[in-house]
Each structure stands twice: as C-alpha cells, then as structure tokens.
A and B are shown apart, each in its own frame.
Chain A
C-alpha cells in the first residue's frame, strides 16, 4: 500500500520486479540505475550471495516529479527468484503497489515462468491482494538471445502461457542491452500512480 504523506505532500510507491531466478530482474534495475544515474540521489542497494544471485532484494528509489502537487517517490524492488526463497519474496511483496513480472524467454524456462507467476498469485493472496486487480506489466526478457540461436519461446506462446487470463500490457525486452526496459518501467509507473490517484487530495 502506497504511503501518502499529506503533511509533506509526498507519495511513496512500491514497485516490485518479480519472476523466475536468473530471469533478469536485477539487470532491469541495473540498467535503470545506469540510465538515470544523474537523477537518482542514492546508491542502488543489492543484497547478493557470493555467486551474485539476489539473496534478499535490490532497492532503487528515485523521484519522478510532481502530480497534483505531490512529490512522487518511486521505490523499485526485486525479489530473489530462486524457488527456495519464497518466504523472502512474500516479505518483499508486503505493501506492493505495482508489479513487473519478468519472464525468461528461453524455451527451457517455460515451466519456471508459469510456476513463478502462480507463486506470485499465491503470495499476493497472503497479503489479501488479487493479481487481477493489481497494476501489473509483463516483460518477456532475453529476446536478444535469438541472435545466438538459443531456442526461445515465441511471443505468442508467452502470451498464451502467462497473459491469456491476465490480459495486461506486455513488452518484449532485453534487460542486458536495455531494449524496452525503460518503456516497461514507465508503463508500470503510470499504471500504478493512476491506481493511487484517488488518494491524492
């Protein structure tokens, strides 16, 4: 739940990047951090294992200006993707306002995408939130691997697997090269802020 401070006129929005392990959630945030470095006042926080996998979460806060006189402060988080860290994922989802689901386009990760999306739905339910009512954007990551002849799921297959019921905006992207990383972020921010606007007086 976003925190709206009527006294300081500030809206704090929590957006979580969710998805299977090694799918590119942290890479999304790293690209955003490098692209908007001059506009982000603080350092990106990453809690990683020695093997560079996200252990707890990554955190990147930045301001996007004013809406209706309120300073909008976006706080981007990732979750650890590995299956064993579900308790941590649930913890990071506490108070979430918007979600980017980062799916892995590689053919071999098909099952993992589906299971991860299912776990998102279940974890949201533990916070009394409905995935169908939550601002959500899908990102089909790693499209650049096509050039290296790695078998990828087609966009149609990904849409069928993940978005046939949700029917939310989706982007084909490459977090490594940055392709569609910023449009994904802009889309989730606009959807999330729109959903919160009624609280701004």
Chain B
C-alpha cells in the first residue's frame, strides 16, 4: 500500500470535501487509508470528536465488515451506515486504499448524503 499526495492534490481533496459535504451540513468528514491514517479532515468548526481514534476504529471496522462480506459470498460491502440519535456515521470506500467517513446530524438525510458522497468519490478519483 504505497501512495503519494502532492500538496496541490491535498488542497484539491480538502476543497472537494468542504464544498460538497461540509457546506451541505455534514459535521465532520475524514478521508483515511485502510491502515487508519488520516489523509484529510474537514469539519464545520464545531465538531470536537477524536478523529484519530475514529480513523483507527473506522479502518478496523471496515476490515472486519469486509471479512463478513466474504463469508456470505460478497467481494465487499462498499458502504456502511451507523445511525445514532443525534450523530450518524456513513463509511464509503473510495478505492482499495481509501475510506471516506462522514459524521452528520438529523438535518441531513441519508439519501441526500449518499448522492453527495457518490459525487465526491467520483471527484476524488479524478483529483
């Protein structure tokens, strides 16, 4: 798992995350690799979550769910959603190396978020 991002690419990634996700009401978005490292993080300025622990757990969780997928004959489950009373989380695979995690509240609908995430993933792949 070797990859490189130039500063220009990281700027572009952050721009996409802010423009398409934070600006539509997502509280916090992090782009991580499958080892649990944070590549980019953006939030609405009020989000105080421990994103490093979230990244480690998110990568582990995704790995575990992938193992479950294989048991039931799927190659992968490409997205995960955890619903909470006030905060919910949406995990989506960008490609084999990266995972996008969104934390959002009740004011963003899951359907809308899924559409935005699909758009963002396309843009990130081109970034």
Contact = CB atoms under 8 A, between A and B. Distances in A.
Contact of B35 (A1, A5, A41): A1
A200 to B, nearest CB: 14
A73 interface: yes
Interface size class of A (residues with CB under 8 A): 20 to 34
B57 to A, nearest CB: 6
Given A7-B7, A12-B38, A94-B34, A75 B56 contact: yes
B11 interface: yes
Contacts of B36: 14, 75, 95
Contacts of A52: none
Interface residues of B, number: 24
A56 B64 contact: yes
A156 to B, nearest CB: 36
Interface string A91-119: 11011100000000000000000000000
A43 B39 contact: no
B63 A91 contact: yes
A6 B39 CA distance: 10
Interface in A1-35: 1-3, 5-7, 12, 14
Interface of B: 1-2, 5-7, 10-11, 33-39, 50, 52-53, 56-57, 59-60, 63-64, 67
